[in-house]
Amino acid sequence: MASSYALPSSALPHAHRQHMHAHSHSHPHPHPHPHPPTSLNALKSTMASGGGLHNHSQSLDRSRHPDRPHLGHARSFSHENSESHPPSRPSAHGHTPSHSLSHLPTFNPNDADTHEPKNRLPHLPTLRTNPTPGFHMREKLPPTPLSQVDGWKTETAPSGRELLTPMSAASKWYEPPDSAATNHSHSHSHGHGRSHDHHHGHDHDHDHAHKHAHHDHDHGNSHEPAKISLFSKLLLRYSPHVPVFHAILVEKDSRRIFYFLSLNFSFMAVQAWYAHATESIGLLSDTVHMFFDCFALFVGLCASVMSKWAPSQRFPYGLGKVETLSGFANGILLMLLSVEIIGEAFERMAEGTPPRRLHELLAVSTLGGLVNVVGLVAFGHHHHGHGHSHGGDGGGCSGSHKKTDDHDHNHNHDHNHNHGHNHNHNHGHGHGHQNENMQGIFLHVLADLMGSVAVVVSTLLTMYTGYAWWDAVAGLLVSVLIVLAAWPLLASSARNLLLGIPETVEYNLRNTLAGIAQQRGVVGYSVPKFWMDEVAAAAGHDRHHHQHEHSHDRDHDHDHDHGHGHGHDHQHEHHSASGERLRGIVHVVAARGAGLDDVRDRVRAHLAQHGMDVVVQVEREGDGSCWCGAGRLAPPSATGLPSPRAF
């Protein structure tokens, strides 16, 4: 591997790309900035070795912000990180430090906004001591720390045989450092952002961040988060003894689900007890319904926790799809529920039995509706909800925030480009896209709320008008609404599960693929199959959260960039981001004169340039032994014919 990157011609641009933002930024900036010599040095150092970049940025930062203790602090960490990584692979190298690094700041704001940097410190040793030199299959994939826990394939470098021993399930389950590690992984792209920021004019950033923090703070306060974050801070302090509990609380999403689940469950318990005491059927059936909700919430909670698990032998691409799956399941459940409601409505109509015990019904559904309103606020808050944790940030210490914010900015950037329309979509109906799990839960709660409201309204109407069929009409209406609401969720999650490639990515992918054949020594290729990397997506999704928390900042930064006239940088990110999350396979046919290893490295480098981590099988021209059938055909025409079996 190392040899391939050592080639001067290919390695240099490659390194650029991988280091991405950091590098690209460092280039243009020297001129506007007052520290040209340092940045030039940095440039040189990056050329010499991938790790140089971080050093550079660090020094810059220090020189610029000597007054910010936190910044310096974090930076020193980053520095060490980057150094600790052997420079064998520039790409991986550049990334990992940034991940781990950036993670630390973002992690806290995200979760509880409460952690001080000292609290993060304990995580650091695990990061640094992590060996994982050779691993990093994907650039953005970060599970570096996890490798020590259970990835058998991650530990490739030190001793070959050990890797393949299957991991015991016990080790896979949960350990607090593990979760921390995953978190690190999410944030990795922040790292880029960070260096980026530093390169930028610092005044600018600072101001923006400040303002924003405050903004968000207000925003957050308007909702009910402050109490929660305090509460969860308290819980987080005591939870590490119960690993599962801690795992739930550490992540923002799962924490929210958990709180709402406990609320729902306690309400259900009270209701069940009351139903038992009064022997009321209406109450009891509502209790059963609540139980159903709790079950759906529980599934969502499990998915939210599981999606953070690292790739393992059993799940080679991680469990990032669990959330999509749970969202899909939730959508199907909603559909079935609405069908059932319709059925019952018709039954009610046919029978013509007026609903009985109207007052009881009214009370129960009102209470249930209130609970759902709380849930809706919680998850809806999540939806447009940058404010909460961010607010905490603003309160904490501005310097470090600023930093994280900027990361976020970069992220968002990536993100936008990445997902193209998808993302916009999501914005359209509020963040949902990436996290189908949360969207499903939100919809479920929404459906419940609609049900409660419909019951209340129809009961009132029945009481006042005396007609019996209000109930049925309300049921029909609600079921139609549920179907309409759940349909987009179903469609998007099904598309994801189908392993389809989004259109924007597809466009770039075609160009990239065409480039394969132009690599030297490549005669043709066959069975190119690529799919979105869910591990990165999981990370991205966490990023997503971050973004959301700071999304205001993001916009600002964005503008900022533009002000600088940074077209170039833009493109870079776009490029790497668009392909960032693709994995796949391709079989390449090498010409007779070309070395197999050489061809493999070329193709891999080419694909890695576009952010794809691909398993490349190189076959010799004329070697028809593979199932892909590429080698069997006569070489020149083979590439032109559609006959290389594409399935």
Partner 1 sequence: MADDGPPSADGGLDSPIPSPFNFKTQVISTTPIKSNIGQRRGHRYKHSSISAQHHIFKEPPPRPPPVLPASLPIPTLKEARERMTTEQWHSLYWSLCHVAVAAFLFFRSRGSLGIMALSHLVFFDAGSALICVAVDVLGNFEVWRRSSIRHPFGLERAEVIAGFAMSIFLLFGGFDLVSHGLKHWLDTKGGHEPHHDHSHQYVPSGELEWVACAGIFSTLVSAYWVKNHARIARIMRSSWLSILSHHFTNVFHVLTIFFSILLLLLPLLPGSPSHWDRALCAAIACAMFALGAQLGAAQASMLLMSYHGDVSPVLRDIEAEPNVSRIEEAQFWQVHYGLCVANLKICVARGCDEGIISKLRSKITSMIQNRLGEGYGRGSSLRWEVTIQTSVESN
By C-beta, is 221 or 511 nearer to partner 1?
Answer: 511
Residues 323-362 that bind partner 1 (CB under 8 A): 325, 328-329, 332-333, 336-337, 340, 353
Over the window 445 to 484, marking each residue x when it contacts partner 1 by CB under 8 A and - when it does not, the resulting string is ----------------------------------------
CA geometry: angle at 490 spanning 486 and 491, to 5°? Answer: 120
Using CB under 8 A as the binding criterion, the count of chain residues that bind partner 1 stands at 85
* Contact (CB, 8 A) for 26 and 415: no
Q: Judged by CB under 8 A, which stretch of 220-228, 256-264, 309-317, 402-410 contacts partner 1?
A: 309-317
By C-beta, is 282 or 432 nearer to partner 1?
Answer: 282
| Shortest reach from residue 452's CB to partner 1, in Å | 18
Given phi > 0 = left and psi -120 to 50 = alpha, else beta, which region is 622? Answer: left
Identify the burial level of 615 via C-beta atoms within 10 angstroms of its C-beta, where 0-12 means exposed, 13-18 middle and 19 or more buried.
exposed
Residues 617-636 that bind partner 1 (CB under 8 A): 617-620, 623, 625-627
Greatest alpha-carbon pair distance for the chain in Å reads: 90
Residues 103-162 that bind partner 1 (CB under 8 A): 137, 153, 156, 160-161
By C-beta, is 329 or 539 nearer to partner 1?
Answer: 329
Residues 478-517 that bind partner 1 (CB under 8 A): 494, 497-501, 503, 506, 509-510, 513-515, 517
What are the structure tokens assigned to 603, written together?
């193709």
By C-beta, is 3 or 9 nearer to partner 1?
Answer: 3
Q: How far is CA 511 from CA 2, 575, 604, 638, in A?
A: 27, 12, 15, 20
What are the structure tokens assigned to 71, written together?
């910044």
Q: Which amino acid is at 239?
A: S
CA pair distance 181, 175, nearest whole angstrom: 10
Over the window 257 to 286, marking each residue x when it contacts partner 1 by CB under 8 A and - when it does not, the resulting string is ----------------------x-x--xx-
* Contact (CB, 8 A) for 220 and 387: yes
By C-beta, is 319 or 371 nearer to partner 1?
Answer: 319
| Shortest reach from residue 522's CB to partner 1, in Å | 8
Over the window 401 to 440, marking each residue x when it contacts partner 1 by CB under 8 A and - when it does not, the resulting string is ----------------------------------------
> Pick from 250, 236, 257, 238: which is nearest to 302 by CA?
257
| Shortest reach from residue 513's CB to partner 1, in Å | 7
| Shortest reach from residue 637's CB to partner 1, in Å | 8
Identify the burial level of 567 via C-beta atoms within 10 angstroms of its C-beta, where 0-12 means exposed, 13-18 middle and 19 or more buried.
exposed
Residues 153-182 that bind partner 1 (CB under 8 A): 153, 156, 160-161, 163-166
Q: Beginning with the edge strand found earlier in the chain, give each strand of the sheet holding 522-532 in spatial order.
A: 522-532, 582-590, 612-620
Contact residue for partner 1 among 145, 392, 396, 584 (CB under 8 A) = 584
What secondary structure letter does DSSP report for 588?
E
CA pair distance 128, 100, nearest whole angstrom: 9
Over the window 42 to 71, marking each residue x when it contacts partner 1 by CB under 8 A and - when it does not, the resulting string is ------------------------------
CA pair distance 64, 16, nearest whole angstrom: 24
